[in-house]
Structure 1
């Protein structure tokens, strides 16, 4: 909102118009500064959020009184919510790019991840249960050999040997399943 828009037509103003003008005159600058910080210096988005906050203030002028709480606090919360909603909206939508740049931003093909997941499940399925449990705990859950030994009730050395033999068996299974490059 600009001063020229707010200051035109002052002769026929009502109490609500005067109250809104007072709010804008008092709080436009601090709200715009706050909104600029939230939008990383984007003046357009900051001014848009402040303008929308004043539209909402106009709709709730009867509730914006000092005895209901600080008006600036209410306006700042509205600006904050508007800016955060804008961030969420932009994150939810895919980025728009020019057609000639589409190849640069194309998403990776998830089929490789699916293939790898299936292969890992098949390899794990062919390991002995004790070896499989040790391997899963170390590599998928990130636990140490001491933690695994304590939870399984076996010595640390046993956990280490199970992981060693599980990896060796997994390599053999993978060698049998994947064709060699010629």
Structure 2
């Protein structure tokens, strides 16, 4: 297994140029802002080095970079406009990459929840049970289901924001 430093070096060597080119278009050719976004993207990749393979990291990196640009626009109160990624910017991948990336990020965030929080989310959102049904299946009072759901969703939101996934 590669160390965090090795992964970062591989990510930097492979993706810094293409990411910078992509982000420059998103920020109206503001080189300093683009460089800041690329550095933050690579910093977040370093934090997740154990989950990323440098040759397969493009969808994750481009999503984080795009979300950082959008978050920057929101902080400044401007409206963000999405610039589509052109085929020359990315290696050929399936049309479902965005969906797969989101599913992967959500599944990873779910795995990091406590067992109690994860089971409540699964019962309510994946198995589509009511609070009363989930309470019965889990053997806890409905109030406990509601409380666990509240804290689980907050933890999921925080975990996804940490990965650069923000609300639209």
TM-score where L is the length of structure 2: 0.43
Larger Rg: 1
Larger relative contact order (Cα-Cα within 8 Å, sequence gap ≥ 6): 2
